[in-house]
Structure 1
């Protein structure tokens, strides 16, 4: 009787195969070697729907021609080496967008962009703080290389949520984070 015909060996091989499939689906190691590049343009407000022109001139206040920068920060590395900038913009229509500029980080499973109230702490001590308090999930990271835009919901209080994390939701760890400083 050969070794491969023994029931214990066959069961062991079956268990090993199942564990390998589960490990691959959870860890997704190929993402460490494959980049997703994104290059979204600076956001602009949606074009207004037709507006009636008044018969007489109406005095209007100054109107911003483009996005206004509200806050800015530089990403620091946490779990993975990362670089880039984070900018919070207000568009002429009053909506707000978080923009990642020149991002360079590793890809990973279930990466999210979070606005949080957690302090940005350098080193390993800062890896796990962002899910301890308040956070707003702005969606999945669109790409680990390049620039991308994430709409900020209307009710979000930017005075309370003063940092950004590229958060790995699968392993509850920050890949990178930035403290947001108001722009004067």
Structure 2
């Protein structure tokens, strides 16, 4: 009985580890990529200083519980997406990314349980740095923010939207 439990635990751990994807630095610095690939310039932790808030929103849960607020600011002529200290999402997904989405209501415009997305409706900003807490992502210069109405946390591997926030000025 104990051996069976141990084997199950080892198998589950192996599957979990094998489902994670290592993302190279080259993937993070692509520019001009198609909508379903990374167009990320750089990202850092912490809050930006001397930033002008442009839009913000509050996360609602989709596939998994997601909470917190997001805001887009203009800092030194660069667009910056900030997840606040209260941000939190599930640790259950491999390959979680932060995306901008064309729909104002990502969760309401997709179908449960996974809330799948169509490739032409979003742009990947960057891999999610951590599952909770403040995070800052610098947006690529080739992103026209007027084309995107929401921010979402999305599992690229399983096309599952963990949560989304509608951006309001």
TM-score over 0.5 for the pair: yes
Note if contact 1:78-1:124 (Cα within 8 Å) is conserved in structure 2: no
- Change in Cα spacing, 1:152 to 1:126, as seen in structure 2 (3 Å) is farther
- Change in Cα spacing, 1:158 to 1:20, as seen in structure 2 (3 Å) is closer
Higher relative contact order (CA 8 A, sep 6+): 2
Q: Which runs of 5+ in 1 are unaligned?
A: 1-16, 29-38, 45-65
1:129 positional shift: 4.5
1:105 positional shift: 1.2
Q: Which runs of 5+ in 2 are unaligned?
A: 1-9, 22-43
- Change in Cα spacing, 1:20 to 1:85, as seen in structure 2 (3 Å) is closer
**Cα RMSD, aligned residues only:** 2.9
- Of residues 76, 80, 89, the one that matches 1:105 is 89
Whether 1:167 and 2:154 are equivalent positions in the alignment is yes
Whether 1:70 and 2:57 are equivalent positions in the alignment is no
SS of equivalent to 2:142: coil
TM-score (norm 2): 0.68
1:126 positional shift: 8.0
Whether 1:116 and 2:97 are equivalent positions in the alignment is no
TM-score (norm 1): 0.63
Note if contact 1:89-1:98 (Cα within 8 Å) is conserved in structure 2: yes
Note if contact 2:97-2:127 (Cα within 8 Å) is conserved in structure 1: yes
1:119 positional shift: 3.8
Separation in structure 2 between the aligned mates of residue 145 and residue 137 of structure 1, nearest angstrom: 19
Q: Which residue of 2 aligns with 1:96?
A: 79
Q: Which residue of 2 aligns with 1:143?
A: 130
- Change in Cα spacing, 1:166 to 1:23, as seen in structure 2 (3 Å) is closer
Whether 1:26 and 2:13 are equivalent positions in the alignment is no
Q: Which residue of 1 aligns with 2:33?
A: none
SS of equivalent to 2:19: helix
1:123 positional shift: 8.2
> Cα deviation per residue 1:50-104 (whole Å; 9 max; x = unaligned)?
xxxxxxxxxxxxxxxx10000001000001111100100101x210111111211
| Count of residues in correspondence between the two structures | 134
